[in-house]
Amino acid sequence: MNIISFLVTYLSVAAVYALLAISMNIDYGWAGIPDFGKAAFIAAGGIAAAIVATRIVPPLMLHMHPANPSKLSFFTYYNGKILPAITAHPIDTWIVFIISILLGGIIAAGFAVIFSYPAIRLKEDYLAIALLMAAQIVWLFLRVYTPIMGGTMSMTLPSPSFKPIARALFHSTSPSAIDAAKALFLWGLVGVFLYYAEKQMNSPFGRMLRMVRDDEYAAAALGKNVARARLESLIVASFLAGVAGAVYVLIHFSSVNPDYFMPDLTFFVLTLVLVGGVGNNIGSIIGALLIALLYRASYIFGTSLGFSWGSYLYYMIIGLAILITIFVRPNGILPEKPVRTPAWDVYALVRGKQPWFLRRILMRGRGKVNTGEKSE
């Protein structure tokens, strides 16, 4: 029983990580953008959930005044009146959830449009640092600007209620049944993300992204708009990150706090993708499953050691996971799959001729090139 409850919570956690990883895989894995601002895009989901719970749902659904987290009276009003009112009806908690994920995605996409300005201009190193700084600014801002999520004190959020789902599926509302329902729901969500990402990946859009990543100049020579491809990938990835962020705070934490979105989060998500396989969605999910397990195991093990540093053992685990991956399997556990339709075939189909820079290679396969006369 204990093992099962561990497994169920573990699976829920891993599912949330998988959502974050899939989003990272789109801009980092396919487009080669070192999206070190990921924490800010995830924070967009947190911002959305906080706004929805305090300012949108109360006046809209409950005929209550919106709550302002920067006011002193906020806690008595929000915790005492609004939260109980929302959680009283499971349906309302789901409405909060649905508005939050949509709004989170939209806010994140908005951030992406702003961040994309440097993203399509700067070199990799500079870009990584610029995005990291931008994310740090968002984090600092959320800490100081209290009207959004009340600064550094954690604000409780109305989790979507899994009781009805548990009752329908397992005919039980025991805590373990609820947890199981939650895990099932989250993995369903992972399935949706995966389906969407896979579809995008094998579309002309996905192929173009990888082409831009592998050889910007060749892509430009083929008439691809490199800047636009980068922008679009950043928007798509960020929308998913915003959605995942709302799930992260509403289901994973049931609360929100700016410190959930520190840059460490970006590196953590990066590790999932890196270990699982850059450019491979299934790989990202495997990475999430594996790292979530290591993370929890090392935390439990570390704290049971009785040393003050035991609780930091996960730093070591994550660090070693990154280093070992880079040295032993630079492409991760599941490396990227080859493109299903080679881009040059698509080009030949459209333009009726081979791209100039490939003509040479392709020709060699088909017959000897006449090299002229031989002497002596």
Give residues in contact with other proteins (CB under 8 A): 32, 34, 117-118, 121-126, 128-130, 132-134, 136-137, 140-141, 143-144, 263, 267, 270, 274, 307-309, 312-313, 315-316, 318-323, 326-327, 330, 361, 364, 369, 371-376
Q: How far is the CB of 41 from other proteins (least distance, A)?
A: 17
Structure tokens at 281: 């969605």
Cα 126 from Cα 111, distance rounded (Å): 19
Q: How far is the CB of 257 from other proteins (least distance, A)?
A: 15
2 versus 376: smaller Cβ distance to other proteins: 376
Contact of 147 with 78, CB cutoff 8 Å: no
Contact of 138 with 71, CB cutoff 8 Å: no
Cα 136 from Cα 144, distance rounded (Å): 12
Contact of 276 with 287, CB cutoff 8 Å: yes
Q: How far is the CB of 370 from other proteins (least distance, A)?
A: 8
134 versus 240: smaller Cβ distance to other proteins: 134
Q: How far is the CB of 79 from other proteins (least distance, A)?
A: 25
Q: How far is the CB of 129 from other proteins (least distance, A)?
A: 5
50 versus 134: smaller Cβ distance to other proteins: 134
Q: How far is the CB of 321 from other proteins (least distance, A)?
A: 7
Measured in degrees and rounded to the nearest 5, phi and psi for residue 205 equal -60, -50
Q: How far is the CB of 140 from other proteins (least distance, A)?
A: 5
Cα 83 from Cα 63, distance rounded (Å): 13
168 versus 376: smaller Cβ distance to other proteins: 376
H/E run at residue 28: none
Burial degree of 117 (CB within 10 A; 0-12, 13-18, 19+): exposed
H helical segments located in 260-329: 263-276, 281-304, 313-328
Q: How far is the CB of 235 from other proteins (least distance, A)?
A: 19
130 versus 241: smaller Cβ distance to other proteins: 130
The C-alpha angle with vertex 188 and arms to 186 and 191, in degrees rounded to 5, equals: 115
34 versus 45: smaller Cβ distance to other proteins: 34
Cα 58 from Cα 99, distance rounded (Å): 13
37 versus 105: smaller Cβ distance to other proteins: 37
**Which 3 state secondary structure label does DSSP give 69?**
coil
| C-alpha distances out from residue 109 to 28, 115, 231, 234, Å | 16, 10, 10, 8
141 versus 301: smaller Cβ distance to other proteins: 141
List of E strands, the chain: 155-156, 255-256
